[in-house]
Structure 1
Amino acid sequence: MKMSKEKLKIFYIANARIPTEKAHGIQIMKMCEAFAKNGAEVTLVLPKRRNPIKENLFSYYNVEPTFKIKKLPALDFLFIDSPITFALSTLVFSISTYCYLFFKKGNFVVYTRGEMVLSLAMFINKRLFWETHIKPSNINWYKRVIKNTGGLIVVTKYYKDLMIKEFNVLPDKVLYSPDGVDLKIFDIGTEKEEARKKLGLPTDEKIIVYTGSLLKWKGVETLVESAEFLDSDNTVYVVGDLKKDDNYYLPPIDSSSNIKFVGLKSYKEIPLWLKASDVLVLMGTDKNETSKYYTSPLKLFEYMASRRPIVAPSLPSLLDILDESNSFLVEPDNPKKLAEKIKFVLNNGEKSKDIAEQAYNGSKNYSWDKRAENIIKFIQMNIRDL
């Protein structure tokens, strides 16, 4: 039976606690908004769990309420984080999702990311579209699933090539679609001095900013170590949550005095931090496969939209988007080289301004709306014969 030409109906299944301070919450909410803007009827399906963040989902992410949100029963292990509790909560949420979708009539597609594809593929098959950001650790579990889905969405070119070569996915069944940015939030007219006053930052310093996670594979350690090679009037601000967790980087007590860890800030405040900077630093490491080949960090596109020069490690995942025309590339995992590149940017204002403007112009190609438009076209192409 062929899909009719009626409005595309999308159920976005996300096994996530939303709102969350993590980047995946932003991506999911922004994509639901963008799908809706592109004419789809969208329902975001979430597990019903307790959440320390009490703010409304739409206001928290500055998203228009153009789509529905449905919360389904799930086990709630708010303060117990382990593989067993995660597996149990995923199982219960999967059963709830199956029951919910079973009674849905008409033609629709299911969109998901992460491990939920394993359970959804048992009964959705060709109407299931999977966005995947990292190579599965257990390939054999996913090979059958990948073969039976309607299509795959990946965020790096390397991952697309891998899917074709290693998973034998047909090229027209996998879409390369890097992450995006909400230009109306990050392309703001606030001047540097004004942003600094609002944040209580000094106006006589050269400010270097990193925003985002301090997970070890993000490579933030290199930035911290580079601080000792910077000039005395250079200050690095790390905007991200410090966690006492083996997976996260914790700076040593004797870290350089010109680096400041300001903690987690709200999503709405991040554009001000970017505007307050002289240089934005994107980190990554050649020592981690995810960092090297699979990541499409939201901060990359947010940096581009902010019209500030970007210093970034020369890694395959980032070179999908960046080159010498829109950023200042540096050897990964080399603190001294990183500091030299930052100082070069600070001392070459006109060149830095030109490079930042090139990045800004490029950011217009990576809006969430354009990303959703391309994915909808991909979905429609792959369901036209169903």
Structure 2
Amino acid sequence: MDNSSLKIVYVTHARIPTQKAHGLATVKLCEAFAKAGAEVELVVPRVWFSGDEDIHSFYNTQRNFAVTRLPAIDLGFLGMFERATFPLRFISFSKIAAWYCLWKYNKANRVVYMSHDTIPLYFLSFIAKNIFYDIHDFPSHSLFARRVMKTARGFSVQARSKIPFLMEHFGVSQEKIAYWPNGTEVSQFMAEGITKEEARKKLSIPLQKKIVLYTGQLFGWKGVDTFIRASSMIPDADFYIVGGTKKDIMRTKREARESQNANIHFFGYRPHDQMPVWLRAADVAVLPNTGREDISRYWTSPMKLFEYMASGTPIVASRLPSIEEVVDEGSAFFAEADSPQSFADAIQKAFRHGKEKGERAQQESARYTWDARAEKILTHIRTVLG
């Protein structure tokens, strides 16, 4: 069986498009499935704060997969009470998505239903047999998750550490699990058409300063507090934070003010297609994940890591299993998680000796593409379906 005989329906109750990484991972995987020859449909809820914004334009993807928006009970207009209404949106959308799939694909063969959310798969499991769980976070032991873990025909994970835990906690056989990390658009992040000086001029940032860069969200487990505290130990460098929601930026700015760090600069959210320019402008890119939470130590496959690698910018990262399965001492400078002094020392080393490791990381980044991840999963699906 080749990929052209596969129909993949990827269902998620997440808001897409979104500034958060899971949206990019979902859309890029769908694009890569379609590039490999599969017929792909992405099914998402229609919610009030994203409207009908074009997903392909937002993520700059090929228009090689269909996007279907289905209604959901959405009370997002309640503002501060919005979070309390999330379960209603999730469940209403998931039920509607199951009915939609039953109506559209009831008599179709070789249809595979995939999601990184357990609730849509829970309802789909009552009407379809080809359920595949693309595990982003480690699953809970909820009613929804238990049924999905029992009925799914296959699983895909981005972090190797998830495999023994799935086997131990859910009795999943290793043969049902496909492993491959997240990825990136390697050629895009190499940014070969622009120099560091040109990138800095384009971004209107100083040409002569040493620049240390963090990109992405500001959740607690991302370790940005360590990044901020390390900045005070290298006062002659500027530390840039590109990303984060308005709420998280306000909180993190307060932390920076309390630490009296004058060399921390916040640039807020920037479109993903600008990230190669920011990385070209930087002297060092930092991945300061905390070691205090399992999601950071074991379960994550940070997309920013692959972007950093492809850019060739020297990397300083927390020494954690989730990161060490991708880079080693030859391609990154490691620091002890949650230790500002360790990060400051590693950043100084990267300033002086980073060129060789940056080049090595860039060479190794060629393995970590969305196409490679999609092909690994498709091969697994073909094996399972027979």
Q: TM-score range by the shorter chain?
A: over 0.9
Deviation string for 1:315-338 (max 9, x for gaps)?
A: 111111011011111111000110
- The 1:6/1:260 distance shift into structure 2, 3 A limit, reads closer
Distance 2:144 2:94 in 1: 17
- 1:382: which partner in 2? 384
Deviation string for 1:38-92 (max 9, x for gaps)?
A: 0000011111122357752112111010011111111123244556411111121
Distance 1:25 1:5 in 2: 24
Contact 1:292 1:316 (C-alpha < 8 Å) held by counterparts: yes
- 2:347: which partner in 1? 342
Deviation string for 1:85-105 (max 9, x for gaps)?
A: 111111211121112111213
- The 1:328/1:284 distance shift into structure 2, 3 A limit, reads same
1:281 maps to 2:274? no
- 1:205: which partner in 2? 209
- 2:29: which partner in 1? 31
Structure 2 matches for 1:135-154, cutoff 5 A?
Answer: 135-138=138-141, 141-154=144-157
- The 1:94/1:168 distance shift into structure 2, 3 A limit, reads same
Contact 1:130 1:151 (C-alpha < 8 Å) held by counterparts: yes
Contact 1:215 1:247 (C-alpha < 8 Å) held by counterparts: no
- The 1:143/1:55 distance shift into structure 2, 3 A limit, reads closer
Distance 1:340 1:148 in 2: 49
Structure 2 matches for 1:318-337, cutoff 5 A?
Answer: 318-337=323-342
Contact 1:215 1:249 (C-alpha < 8 Å) held by counterparts: no
TM-score (norm 1): 0.92
- The 1:79/1:326 distance shift into structure 2, 3 A limit, reads farther
Deviation string for 1:158-202 (max 9, x for gaps)?
A: 111111122111111011221110123212212111110000011
- 1:364: which partner in 2? 366
Distance 2:265 2:279 in 1: 15
- Structure 1 unaligned spans of 5+: none
- The 1:228/1:41 distance shift into structure 2, 3 A limit, reads same
Distance 2:2 2:334 in 1: 48
SS of equivalent to 1:222: helix
The code of the aligned residue for 1:339 comes to: A
SS of equivalent to 1:17: coil
- 2:171: which partner in 1? 168
Contact 2:232 2:261 (C-alpha < 8 Å) held by counterparts: yes
- 1:300: which partner in 2? 305
CA drift at 1:287: 0.9
Distance 2:50 2:67 in 1: 19
SS of equivalent to 1:45: strand
- The 1:310/1:379 distance shift into structure 2, 3 A limit, reads same
TM-score (norm 2): 0.92
SS of equivalent to 1:324: coil
- 1:183: which partner in 2? 186
Distance 1:144 1:357 in 2: 46
SS of equivalent to 2:43: strand
Larger helix proportion, structure 1 or 2?
2
Contact 1:220 1:284 (C-alpha < 8 Å) held by counterparts: yes
1:193 maps to 2:197? yes
- Greater shift in the superposed pair: 52-61 or 240-249: 240-249
Contact 1:215 1:248 (C-alpha < 8 Å) held by counterparts: no
SS of equivalent to 1:110: strand
Question: How many residue pairs get matched?
Answer: 377
Distance 1:50 1:344 in 2: 48
Contact 2:332 2:361 (C-alpha < 8 Å) held by counterparts: yes
- The 1:54/1:238 distance shift into structure 2, 3 A limit, reads farther
1:258 maps to 2:260? no
CA drift at 1:221: 0.2
Contact 1:221 1:251 (C-alpha < 8 Å) held by counterparts: no
CA drift at 1:145: 2.0
Deviation string for 1:105-153 (max 9, x for gaps)?
A: 322111111233333223323x011111222233565233212111111
- Over the aligned positions, Cα root-mean-square deviation in angstroms equals 2.1
Contact 2:3 2:378 (C-alpha < 8 Å) held by counterparts: no
Structure 2 matches for 1:203-242, cutoff 5 A?
Answer: 203-232=207-236, 234-242=237-245
- 1:271: which partner in 2? 276
Distance 1:293 1:246 in 2: 26
1:93 maps to 2:93? yes
Structure 2 matches for 1:2-81, cutoff 5 A?
Answer: 7-52=5-50, 55-80=53-78
Identical-residue share of aligned pairs (%): 38
- Greater shift in the superposed pair: 37-46 or 186-195: 186-195
Distance 1:137 1:5 in 2: 32
- Greater shift in the superposed pair: 48-57 or 71-80: 48-57
SS of equivalent to 1:311: strand
Contact 2:48 2:77 (C-alpha < 8 Å) held by counterparts: no
Distance 2:158 2:253 in 1: 28
- Greater shift in the superposed pair: 206-215 or 4-13: 4-13
- Greater shift in the superposed pair: 51-60 or 301-310: 51-60
- Structure 2 unaligned spans of 5+: none
